[in-house]
Structure formats: C-alpha cells, structure tokens
Amino acid sequence: MSPIIYPTTNFQQTEALIIERGDGAYVYDNSGKQYLEGLAGLWCTSLGYNNRELIATTSEQMSKLSYSHMFGGKLIK
C-alpha cells in the first residue's frame, strides 16, 4: 500500500511502487531500481534530487520560516 493517501486513492488498486530516495533526475525504489523522474505537478516542479545548493538554500530558509501559504494573495513582509 502507498504511504500517501490522496483524496482519489482507490484502496482496492493502490500502487505497489515505493520510492525510497532520489539523486539528480533519478529516483530509486525500495529494491534499488532506478527510474527517470519526469513528473511535476500543479503546485510543484522537479528541481532534481540531492542538489547541494538547493538543500543549503532551503535549510537556511526553513530556519527563518518553515511554512506560510501564499493562497489568496496573502503577503509576508
């Protein structure tokens, strides 16, 4: 069973693929099989995995403000 439950999850047909880690443009399942990760979503985009610059930048930002939604024009100053 998938560790993520979406509003559209069909519990009788859940995917068996478990993605365990990522590196660059690739993700790896719990058996070590490599897949090219080419998906993006409405609210996100794939910027690569294990990107040291991205990790450092987001870590710095998380220490200042870990989360704030921007939905509906809310501005943070």
Q: How many CA atoms lie within 13 A of 14 on its CB side?
A: 12
What burial class does residue 33 get, using C-beta atoms within 10 Å of its C-beta: 0-12 exposed, 13-18 middle, 19+ buried? Answer: exposed
Reply yes or no on whether the pLDDT at 1 is more than 60.
no
Domain assignment present for residue 2? The answer is no
Report if residue 44 sits inside a domain: yes
* Alpha-carbon span 24 to 34, nearest angstrom: 11
For residue range 19-73, list pLDDT tens digits in order. Answer: 899 998 899 999 999 999 877 666 666 778 898 998 999 899 999 988 877 766 6
Give the per-residue pLDDT at 6. 77
19-23 β-sheet, strand order: 19-23, 26-29, 34-36
Report, as an integer, the average pLDDT of 5-22: 79
Token pair listed for 63: 């220490």
Q: Tell me if 6 is assigned to some domain.
A: no
**Quick one: pLDDT at residue 3?**
65
In a domain, 31, yes or no: yes
Judge whether 48 lies within some domain. Answer: yes
pTM for the predicted model, two decimal places:
0.55
